[in-house]
Structures are given as structure tokens and as C-alpha cells.
Structure 1
Amino acid sequence: MIAVSASDENIRTAELMSIQAIVNHLPIFGEYDVDRIKSVAAMVLDLLSEEDGLDALFGLIRDGLPDGLNETAYAMACDVAAADGKLGQIELRMLQEIRHELEVDRLHGAAIEAGARARFRTLT
């Protein structure tokens, strides 16, 4: 989630609020220590600033993500990307990379993306 938010080098308040809401309310984070968010964010930002940091980040994600949660992780990334109502090319590319790395097939990915668009649609 943090990598998607940071991918365009502009972490927006709406994205941070979305991350906080996801961690606070979704059952998957029921046992998660919310005090870790800052240290995880710092680590992700450090990795993204390194030359091969994205590959290292994806390796950490693959190693740490329990089996069966790839689509869940992708859905959370899509929600963060959609939270501010602005999806630029860099964020879209990051989502594409995440979908590929998590081995979420295109059809399921499209359904997840459509759900995120529907949840974060505004009247204007």
C-alpha cells in the first residue's frame, strides 16, 4: 500500500488515510501492531530510493505474504491508489507491477480494480 502511494513521489493525505483505515478496520490486520506503520513506511521509502529497491521490496512482499492473500493485497493496493481520485501513469504502472508480482490474473485484477473505482467514485 505504501509503495503505491509513494510511487508518484507525492504521498497524499487521502492515501495515508486510506492505509490507516484499512489497517484499523479490515480483519486481516486484526493482530497487526499499528505502531509498525511508520517503520514499514520508512523501509519502503528507503527501498524505493535504491536502484534495485523495487525488486527487493517485491521479494520481501512475496516472502512475507501468507498463501492465499495475493488478491487481498492487490485489492488494498488498488484502494490506496484510488483513494485520492487521481491515478497517474506511474501509479498505474506500479499497480501493474504489483499485479504481476503477486500473480493476480488479468480478469481477477480487472474485477478488483473496478471495485476500487466504484468504492472511491465521487459525485463530481
Structure 2
Amino acid sequence: MQNEVHALSPQDCLLALMIAVSASDADIRTAELVKIESAVNLLPIFGGYDEDRLKVVMQIVFDLFEQEDGLDALFGLIREHLPERLNETAYALACDVAAADGQLQEAELRLLEEIRYELNIDRLHAAAIERGARARHTTL
């Protein structure tokens, strides 16, 4: 697994954050998985992405979450392999996954806060991204 960890692409990093948000409350919901899959299948940032990497990245995230400092390690990998210009994209995708099931759990909110901090997302930009996610996932 060590070689796989060091070979993370920017798309793998985006995917890892989406998986982390979904897994943060220890209950990966179907709506969240569908959101992740549709993002990988439809968004231009994932154009040409090898969908077989999904399982690899998912296992990396799960393995890191089992470690005491796994979240710090995950953010270290993200900072190392995700270009800074994609930080807001990463946060937007994470917010979409958190909002996908219509419920924001405390663990998801804490992780989103940590992502904002770790990726140095401006407060105003974060609020706009969060509002967009909320608007996209509003139900009647």
C-alpha cells in the first residue's frame, strides 16, 4: 500500500476527501456514495480518471482512519499531492457529499471545518461554497 499512497493523483485527493467526509460519521449513506460516483462519472475534473482507483483510494482512507493520527496523515497527503488551485474544488466536493443525504452530522461538520482550515479556504469563499451545496441539495 505504501507505493499506492505516494502515487496519489490530484483526482485521488479529491476523491479521498469526499470519502473521508462520507465516512466521518461512521455511517456511509447510499446518497453519499451516489454523489461520489456521479461526481467521478460526470465532472470534468475527473475526465479520464480510472474508476478502478475508487476502491484503492477508499481503502487508503479507511486504513488512515484506523490510525491514531490518520486524519493528519490524510491532510499531509492532500497538501502534498493536491495543487493549491484545486483547494476550493476539493471543499466544494466535500460539501456536496456532506449535503447529499439531507443531514449534516456533527462529525461531518467538524471535518468540513478541518478541511477549510487545512486547505486555507477563505471564510467568505467557504460560505458561498456551503450555500451552493445547500441550495443544490434542498428538498421540498
Code of the aligned partner of 2:128: A
Matched, 1:7 2:27: no
**Corresponding residue of 2:132:** 115
**Corresponding residue of 1:104:** 121
Which aligned segments of 4 or more residues in structure 1 are displaced greater than 2 angstroms?
Answer: none
What CA RMSD, in Å, does the superposition of the two structures yield over aligned residues? 0.6
| Cα shift at 1:31 | 2.2
| Cα shift at 1:67 | 3.0
The one of 72, 76, 79 equivalent to 2:89 is 72
Q: Deviations over 1:80-121 (max 9, x none)?
A: 000000101110000000111011011100100000000000
Aligned residue pairs, count = 123
Gaps of 5+ in 2: 1-17
Code of the aligned partner of 1:111: A
Code of the aligned partner of 2:85: G
Gaps of 5+ in 1: none
**Corresponding residue of 2:108:** 91
Question: How many Å separate the matches in 2 of 1:36 and 1:86?
Answer: 28
**Corresponding residue of 1:23:** 40
Question: How many Å separate the matches in 1 of 2:84 and 2:126?
Answer: 17
TM-score, with structure 1 as normaliser: 0.97
The one of 36, 39, 59 equivalent to 1:42 is 59
TM-score, with structure 2 as normaliser: 0.86
**Corresponding residue of 2:7:** none
